[in-house]
Protein backbone atom coordinates (compact mmCIF):
# COMPACT_ATOMS: atom_id res chain seq x y z
CA UNK A 1 0.00 0.00 0.00
CA UNK A 2 2.91 2.37 0.77
CA UNK A 3 4.34 1.81 -2.71
CA UNK A 4 0.94 2.53 -4.30
CA UNK A 5 0.53 5.80 -2.38
CA UNK A 6 4.11 6.84 -3.13
CA UNK A 7 3.69 6.11 -6.85
CA UNK A 8 0.42 8.05 -6.93
CA UNK A 9 1.96 11.10 -5.22
CA UNK A 10 5.13 10.74 -7.31
CA UNK A 11 3.21 10.78 -10.61
CA UNK A 12 0.89 13.56 -9.47
CA UNK A 13 3.91 15.67 -8.47
CA UNK A 14 5.53 14.94 -11.86
CA UNK A 15 2.45 16.31 -13.63
CA UNK A 16 2.30 19.40 -11.41
CA UNK A 17 6.03 20.17 -11.73
CA UNK A 18 5.98 19.60 -15.49
CA UNK A 19 2.88 21.69 -16.03
CA UNK A 20 4.17 24.50 -13.86
CA UNK A 21 7.54 24.49 -15.59
CA UNK A 22 6.20 24.33 -19.14
CA UNK A 23 3.41 26.83 -18.52
CA UNK A 24 5.77 29.30 -16.89
CA UNK A 25 8.34 28.94 -19.69
CA UNK A 26 5.82 29.37 -22.49
CA UNK A 27 4.23 32.49 -21.01
CA UNK A 28 7.61 34.03 -20.13
CA UNK A 29 8.97 33.42 -23.63
CA UNK A 30 5.95 35.11 -25.21
CA UNK A 31 6.49 38.19 -23.06
CA UNK A 32 10.21 38.24 -23.87
CA UNK A 33 9.62 37.93 -27.63
CA UNK A 34 7.17 40.82 -27.51
CA UNK A 35 9.56 42.88 -25.36
CA UNK A 36 6.97 43.37 -22.66
CA UNK A 37 7.11 43.10 -18.88
CA UNK A 38 4.42 40.93 -17.28
CA UNK A 39 1.76 42.72 -15.27
CA UNK A 40 2.08 42.47 -11.46
CA UNK A 41 -0.72 39.92 -11.12
CA UNK A 42 0.90 37.72 -13.75
CA UNK A 43 4.30 38.07 -12.05
CA UNK A 44 2.66 36.78 -8.86
CA UNK A 45 1.25 33.86 -10.84
CA UNK A 46 4.76 33.04 -12.09
CA UNK A 47 5.98 32.94 -8.49
CA UNK A 48 3.11 30.62 -7.52
CA UNK A 49 3.95 28.27 -10.42
CA UNK A 50 7.62 28.18 -9.42
CA UNK A 51 6.66 27.44 -5.79
CA UNK A 52 4.36 24.64 -6.95
CA UNK A 53 7.19 23.22 -9.03
CA UNK A 54 9.58 23.32 -6.05
CA UNK A 55 7.08 21.66 -3.70
CA UNK A 56 6.37 19.02 -6.35
CA UNK A 57 10.06 18.30 -6.90
CA UNK A 58 10.56 17.88 -3.16
CA UNK A 59 7.58 15.47 -3.12
CA UNK A 60 9.16 13.56 -6.02
CA UNK A 61 12.41 13.26 -4.06
CA UNK A 62 10.68 12.06 -0.89
CA UNK A 63 8.44 9.54 -2.61
CA UNK A 64 11.27 8.39 -4.88
CA UNK A 65 13.53 7.80 -1.88
CA UNK A 66 10.80 5.78 -0.14
CA UNK A 67 10.07 3.71 -3.26
CA UNK A 68 13.71 2.94 -4.08
CA UNK A 69 14.49 1.96 -0.51
CA UNK A 70 11.28 -0.10 -0.18
CA UNK A 71 11.64 -1.91 -3.49
CA UNK A 72 15.43 -2.28 -3.90
CA UNK A 73 16.78 -1.78 -0.37
CA UNK A 74 19.62 0.46 -1.54
CA UNK A 75 20.56 3.13 -4.04
CA UNK A 76 23.16 0.92 -5.71
CA UNK A 77 21.20 0.62 -8.97
CA UNK A 78 23.94 1.37 -11.49
CA UNK A 79 25.34 4.29 -13.41
CA UNK A 80 22.07 5.17 -15.19
CA UNK A 81 20.26 5.57 -11.89
CA UNK A 82 23.05 7.79 -10.61
CA UNK A 83 22.81 9.85 -13.82
CA UNK A 84 19.09 10.25 -13.06
CA UNK A 85 19.92 11.35 -9.50
CA UNK A 86 22.47 13.86 -10.81
CA UNK A 87 19.83 15.34 -13.10
CA UNK A 88 17.29 15.41 -10.27
CA UNK A 89 19.79 17.15 -8.00
CA UNK A 90 20.56 19.77 -10.65
CA UNK A 91 16.85 20.34 -11.23
CA UNK A 92 16.12 20.70 -7.52
CA UNK A 93 18.97 23.19 -7.14
CA UNK A 94 17.86 25.13 -10.23
CA UNK A 95 14.23 25.42 -9.20
CA UNK A 96 15.22 26.30 -5.63
CA UNK A 97 17.51 29.03 -6.97
CA UNK A 98 14.78 30.42 -9.22
CA UNK A 99 12.45 30.54 -6.20
CA UNK A 100 15.11 32.34 -4.15
CA UNK A 101 15.88 34.80 -6.95
CA UNK A 102 12.24 35.62 -7.69
CA UNK A 103 11.44 36.10 -4.00
CA UNK A 104 14.41 38.45 -3.58
CA UNK A 105 13.45 40.38 -6.70
CA UNK A 106 9.87 40.73 -5.46
CA UNK A 107 10.95 41.81 -1.95
CA UNK A 108 13.39 44.38 -3.32
CA UNK A 109 10.90 45.48 -6.01
CA UNK A 110 13.44 44.83 -8.75
CA UNK A 111 12.90 42.95 -12.00
CA UNK A 112 14.41 39.47 -12.11
CA UNK A 113 17.73 39.02 -13.87
CA UNK A 114 16.48 37.48 -17.11
CA UNK A 115 19.95 36.54 -18.36
CA UNK A 116 20.67 34.60 -15.17
CA UNK A 117 17.23 32.97 -15.16
CA UNK A 118 17.68 31.95 -18.80
CA UNK A 119 20.92 30.16 -17.90
CA UNK A 120 19.30 28.37 -14.97
CA UNK A 121 16.38 27.31 -17.18
CA UNK A 122 18.88 25.90 -19.71
CA UNK A 123 20.54 23.88 -16.93
CA UNK A 124 17.09 22.70 -15.84
CA UNK A 125 16.36 21.49 -19.37
CA UNK A 126 19.65 19.59 -19.47
CA UNK A 127 18.83 18.08 -16.09
CA UNK A 128 15.49 16.85 -17.46
CA UNK A 129 17.36 15.06 -20.26
CA UNK A 130 19.57 13.39 -17.65
CA UNK A 131 16.56 12.45 -15.51
CA UNK A 132 14.51 10.97 -18.32
CA UNK A 133 17.45 9.19 -19.98
CA UNK A 134 18.61 7.80 -16.65
CA UNK A 135 15.13 6.62 -15.70
CA UNK A 136 14.59 4.92 -19.06
CA UNK A 137 17.96 3.16 -18.89
CA UNK A 138 17.81 2.28 -15.19
CA UNK A 139 14.26 0.92 -15.09
CA UNK A 140 14.06 -0.72 -18.50
- Please write down the HEC assignment for all residues of 11-80: HHHHHHHHHHHHHHHHHHHHHHHHCCCCCHHHHHHHHHHHHHHHHHHHHHHHHHHHHHHHHHCCCCCCHH
How many domains in the chain?
A: 1
Structural domain range at position 8: 2-138
For the chain, what is the mean pLDDT? 90
User: Which pTM does this prediction carry?
Assistant: 0.86
| pLDDT recorded at residue 26 | 83
pLDDT at 21 over 80: yes
The yes-or-no verdict on residue 93 having pLDDT over 90 is yes
Tens of pLDDT, residue by residue over 42-75, are 878 888 888 999 999 999 999 999 999 999 999 9
Amino acid sequence: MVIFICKFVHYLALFIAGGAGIGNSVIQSIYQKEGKVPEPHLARAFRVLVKLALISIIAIWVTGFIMVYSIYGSFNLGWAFHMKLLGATLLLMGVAYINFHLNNSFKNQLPPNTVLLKRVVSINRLSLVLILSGAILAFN
